Structure 1
Amino acid sequence: MTTPRIEKVLHASIDKLYIGSEEFLAEIEAGLGTAAVSAPKVGYQGVAGSFGEQAALEYFGGTASAVTNYREFDDVFSALERGEIDYGVLPIENSTAGDVLEVADLITRCSLYVVGEHIIRVRHNLLGVSGASTETVREVYSHPQAISQCRDFLRHHAAINAYPYANTALAAKFIAETRNPAKASIGSLRAAELYGLDVLERNIQTAENNYTRFIILSRQMEITPQSDKISLAFSTAHKSGALYSILAHFAYNGLNLLKIQSRPKPDSPWEYVFFLDVAGNLEDANVLIALGKVREQSTWFKLVGNYPHCPHTDR
C-alpha cells in the first residue's frame, strides 16, 4: 500500500508534469513498496559453471527455491513473462568488452523491469582435456564476450584460432566431450571442475580488473527507499537539438547521469534507442518531473526500473 508521504509526492508532482503523465505515475505507484518474492524461482542463461549461474547464486544467497538454466537470453525473458520463474539474471555490461547488446535489445521489446543488479569479477582461464597444453591447442571456443576479453592472450598465441560459442560453460562442456587436445575453451575454474578439464593457463583476461554487471529482471517494479539507480530507454525526434533538450532536464533538476548508450532502433533504419542510467529514487519529485518531461519529448519511452546499485567489489 502506498504511504501518505509517497502519495503526497506523487500528487504534488502531477501538477508540475505535463498532461498525460497520470498513466506514467500509476505505473510507478504500482511498484512503490512492492516486496521481493520470497523463496523465488530464478532463471539464468547458460549451464552449470557459467558466470550467469554464479551471479544468480551470489545475488539470491541460497534463498531461491529453484535456480533454472536456459539456453538463450530470450528464453529467460520468455520464461519470466510466462510466470515460469519469478526473476531472471542476465549480463548487461562488461567493464572490458562493453554492453551485452542482445540483452539491451530484448529489454526494449519486453514489459519486464530491472529490480536489482549484481557485479562479479571475471577471471578467465584456458581449459583443456587431460594431456593438452597451450602448445597443443589450435582452436579455442567461448562466448564472444569472453574471447574479446582475452584478446591480448590470443594475440600472443597466434596459432590458436578463436571460435564463438553460446556460453562459456557450454564451451567447456563441448571440449570435455570432444576429448581433443587441440581444442580448448575459455571459462571459469568452476567450469573446469564441473566438466573434468585441466586448467592450462590461469587469468588470461586482458584486464586484471575485469567485471561483468548482471541485471535482475522481474514482471513488476520493486521500489524501496534503498532504490538509488534508475534505468530508462527512449527515442527522440530525428532533428537537431532533440537529444540535448531531453538530457537538459536531468541537469535542470540536479540529477546525476551515470551512463548513456545508444542502439539502432529495430525496424527503423538510422534511428536510435538511448539507454540511460541516472542516480535517484522515483519517490523524489524532481526525478518525476525530469522523467515526465523526458517522456513527453520522446517518440518512444520505457521506464526500465529503479533499484539499489551494486557497489564495485573485488570478489
Structure 2
Amino acid sequence: MENRKPRVAIQGIRASFHEEAAFKFFGDDIEPVECSSFKQTFEKLQAKEADYVIMAIENSIAGSILPNYTLLMNYNFPVVGEVYLPIQLHLLAYPGVKFEDVKVVTSHPMALRQCLDFFEAYPHIQLVEGTDTAACAKRVRDEKLTDTVAIANTLAAKLYGLDVLERRIESNRTNYTRFLILTDHNDAEKIQANKASLCFQVGNHVGALAKVLNIFAGQELNMSKIQSMPVLGKRNEYNFYVDVEWEKQEQYDTAIRQILKYTQNFNILGEYLKNDGPPTP
C-alpha cells in the first residue's frame, strides 16, 4: 500500500458528500471506490478491494443514522478516525439554463428536505427524489436536462461541468455530518488516541447504566455521544453506543477496567484522534 493511493470506499458516486469528506480526511491523493450502499462499502473492505471505509454516522439535523451502527457491530472493523463536514447545498444546472426555465429539482430526499424553505417561494417547481446528490447532478449533465436542476455540492458542479444557479440554499447554515473512518487493520499503535467509540449492554435493573456513566465522570472522561438501540429479538435489552474523550490515557484505561465489571458484550469499536468538532459555517 506504500506505493499506491489509499483506496477509500464511499457510499455513492464521485462528488458525493462521502467523497468530499474523504478528501477532507485523507487529502486529494486517494482512489475513491464507488459503492451503491453502506453495506457494500464494508464488503469492499472485507474483500480487500478497499483499504478504508468512510461512513456517515450522524447529521446535526437528521440525527444518528441507526442502520450504520448495526454495520459497525456486524463487521467489527476498527474505527480509526472521524471527520466533520459542513453540508452546503447548491442549485446546479446544465450550462446555459436560466432559473426561470426550471420546472423540476432533483436530489437525495435528505437534501430536498434541508432546502424546503427556499422552494416555498417557487411552488411551481416540482421536487423529485433521487438516490444520491451527485448521481442527480450527473444525470442533469448526461441527459442535458434544460428544465431540471439538481441539489448537490460544489464538487459535483466542478466534476460534471454544471453551473451554480443558487448557492447555499439549505435552510440551516450550521448543518454538518460526522463521518467515521474504518479499516481492516488497527492503526491505534501509530497514534496517541484521545477518543474512543464503545458498545456494551447493561443489566435491566435500576441504576445499571448510571453506574457506567458515573465511572466515566469519576475518571473525568467526556462522554460526547450516547445512542441506544434494541438488541434484535430480545425484549428490554439494548446496545449502548458511547463516544468518550480523555486527556490522560491512564484515566481512560482505568475507566475501561472498571466498566467491564458492570457490562456485558463490551466492545471497543475504535480508539482514534478526535476531530476538532463541528465546523462553523
Judge same fold: TM > 0.5, yes or no: yes
Pick from 135, 149, 172 the counterpart of residue 137 of structure 2. 172
Map of 2:151 onto structure 1: 186
Q: Does 1:150 align with 2:150?
A: no
Deviations 1:166-220 (A, max 9, x none): 3210121233344444433210122123223332321011122222222111123
Map of 1:117 onto structure 2: 82
Unpaired runs of at least 5, structure 1: 1-35
Map of 1:101 onto structure 2: 66
Unpaired runs of at least 5, structure 2: none
Residues 163 and 290 of structure 1: CA distance in aligned 2, closer, same or farther (over 3 Å): farther
Map of 1:249 onto structure 2: 215
* Distance (whole Å) between structure 2 residues aligned to residue 122 and residue 112 of structure 1: 26
* Distance (whole Å) between structure 2 residues aligned to residue 63 and residue 314 of structure 1: 26
Pick from 209, 220, 225 the counterpart of residue 259 of structure 1. 225
User: What code does the residue aligned with 2:213 have?
Assistant: L
Aligned Cα root-mean-square deviation (Å): 2.8
Give the TM-score of the pair, scaled to structure 1: 0.77
Deviations 1:5-48 (A, max 9, x none): xxxxxxxxxxxxxxxxxxxxxxxxxxxxxxx9984322212111
Residues 158 and 276 of structure 1: CA distance in aligned 2, closer, same or farther (over 3 Å): farther
Aligned residues: 278
* Distance (whole Å) between structure 2 residues aligned to residue 256 and residue 289 of structure 1: 14
Q: Does 1:47 align with 2:28?
A: no
* Distance (whole Å) between structure 2 residues aligned to residue 129 and residue 38 of structure 1: 35
Give the percent of matched residue pairs that are identical in Structure 1 and Structure 2.
34
What is the DSSP-based 3-state SS (H/G/I as helix, E as strand, rest coil) of the residue aligned with 2:204?
coil
Structure 1 outlier segments of 4+, above 6 Å: none
CA drift at 1:258: 1.1
CA drift at 1:78: 1.0
What is the DSSP-based 3-state SS (H/G/I as helix, E as strand, rest coil) of the residue aligned with 1:291?
helix
CA drift at 1:51: 1.6
What is the DSSP-based 3-state SS (H/G/I as helix, E as strand, rest coil) of the residue aligned with 2:75?
coil
What is the DSSP-based 3-state SS (H/G/I as helix, E as strand, rest coil) of the residue aligned with 1:306?
strand
* Distance (whole Å) between structure 2 residues aligned to residue 178 and residue 311 of structure 1: 41
* Kept in 2: contact 1:126–1:187 (CA 8 A): yes
Map of 2:262 onto structure 1: 297
* Kept in 1: contact 2:194–2:249 (CA 8 A): no
* Kept in 1: contact 2:194–2:272 (CA 8 A): yes
